[in-house]
Chain A
């Protein structure tokens, strides 16, 4: 291992000496002092300017923070924003552009389905519909009995010389439309 400063025997190494002491006795030219003064002045002016800027902007910001909400709410109070949106915005177009999958992904579908099943009483509906299937089988027998009834009534009416027919309207207000 060799140290660069110690290779004097080879003749290649040279020592470098740094002089850090101030030069005494050399006069500084006058132009230098003027530029230094200018630099100092520029610094002071810059500092003052930035202080003023920050102060003013802080004040203005604070004022705006107070005034703008009041002004905007006053403006919004005076206009019917909903009506303006309804008049000028094509909501259907927005809905058409909306990504429904994203929306539906955020909807708790299973919870809603459980709620609906509970609300509409699905088991009861299933019982009703299976009852309906059984009714289909029974309907044939009912219809046959009905037609025999009509025949019997017709014969009886003709034997009793009854021409007006039977009054079979019931007191029950039976209306299919009213059925739930």
Chain B
């Protein structure tokens, strides 16, 4: 059994690693807090879009089942493409806005260990978050600017002075998560 005295000695000498650092592989510890590259961010966006798509399909299925209650001879039809995508964009906008404003992370960001911050390193305000979300949806190709930018910023990031950082460890008392 480790006595308290022994534990304190080990912590002081660095034998005991900080719990937050344990979860991060050594290869990735150097990039923590640095701006992420294109591939990681693109994967995160892909996950977000997949999430929204799944939610849309489930919602449409439930809506059809509900209509079946009202009219029993209701024939199943594929959704109208225009409306389906329009609703999808609105949902994606709302999802990104809320995620960045509340925790700085969407599900895709969370999976890829990313964090979205403003120019001071704080969580995005609701207005900034909404603007960034609509900008990202309206100009998705802006993400490619990450490759060209010397500071790993997309066009949206450059205009709105935001950053997408590697932030793999979500710890206790995370100041970024709004309780």
When distances are taken between beta carbons in the complex, the residues of chain A under 8 Å from B40 are 142, 145-146, 149
- Cα distance, A143 to B112, chains bound together (Å): 9
Residues of B within 8 A of A (CB): 18-25, 27-29, 31-40, 43, 111-113, 115, 117-121, 147-148, 150-152, 163, 165-173
Closest chain B CB from A156 CB (angstroms):
5
**Given A177-B18, A180-B173: A156 and B112 within 8 A (CB)?**
no
How many residues of chain A have a CB within 8 Å of chain B? Answer: 38
The answer on a CB contact under 8 Å between B37 and A170 is no
Residue of A124, A153, A164, A175 touching B147 (CB-CB under 8 A): A153
| A-B CB contacts (within 8 Å), total count | 117
When distances are taken between beta carbons in the complex, the residues of chain A under 8 Å from B27 are 143, 146
When distances are taken between beta carbons in the complex, the residues of chain A under 8 Å from B32 are 174, 176
- Cα distance, A179 to B171, chains bound together (Å): 7
A131 within 8 A of B: yes
Q: Which of A150-170 contact B (CB under 8 A)?
A: 150, 152-153, 156, 160, 162, 164, 166-170
The answer on a CB contact under 8 Å between A162 and B150 is yes
When distances are taken between beta carbons in the complex, the residues of chain A under 8 Å from B23 are 132, 135-136, 139
Contacts A/B (CB < 8 Å), 26 sampled: A128-B172, A138-B111, A145-B39, A145-B43, A145-B112, A146-B31, A152-B37, A153-B152, A160-B148, A164-B150, A166-B150, A166-B151, A167-B150, A168-B151, A169-B34, A170-B33, A171-B120, A172-B163, A173-B121, A174-B32, A174-B165, A179-B19, A179-B20, A179-B169, A180-B172, A180-B173
- Cα distance, A131 to B172, chains bound together (Å): 12
Residue of B28, B29, B35, B172 touching A168 (CB-CB under 8 A): B35
Closest chain A CB from B129 CB (angstroms):
16
A125 within 8 A of B: yes
The answer on a CB contact under 8 Å between B31 and A176 is no
- Cα distance, A36 to B47, chains bound together (Å): 124
**Given A125-B172, A146-B40, A166-B152: A179 and B18 within 8 A (CB)?**
yes
- Cα distance, A132 to B169, chains bound together (Å): 8
Shortest 4 CB-CB contacts between residues of A and residues of B: A174-B33, A149-B37, A179-B20, A172-B121
When distances are taken between beta carbons in the complex, the residues of chain A under 8 Å from B170 are 131
When distances are taken between beta carbons in the complex, the residues of chain B under 8 Å from A136 are 23
**Given A135-B168, A142-B168: A171 and B119 within 8 A (CB)?**
yes
A148 within 8 A of B: yes
When distances are taken between beta carbons in the complex, the residues of chain B under 8 Å from A132 are 22-23
Known: A139-B24, A141-B43, A141-B111. 11 other contacts (CB 8 A): A125-B172, A139-B23, A145-B43, A145-B112, A166-B150, A170-B33, A170-B117, A171-B121, A172-B115, A172-B117, A176-B32
The answer on a CB contact under 8 Å between A150 and B37 is yes
The answer on a CB contact under 8 Å between A149 and B148 is no
The answer on a CB contact under 8 Å between B21 and A176 is yes
Closest residue on chain B to residue A167 by CB atoms: B151
Closest chain A CB from B169 CB (angstroms):
7
- Cα distance, A143 to B25, chains bound together (Å): 9
Closest chain A CB from B134 CB (angstroms):
23
- Cα distance, A167 to B112, chains bound together (Å): 21
Closest residue on chain A to residue B176 by CB atoms: A172
**Given A169-B34, A170-B34: A152 and B39 within 8 A (CB)?**
yes
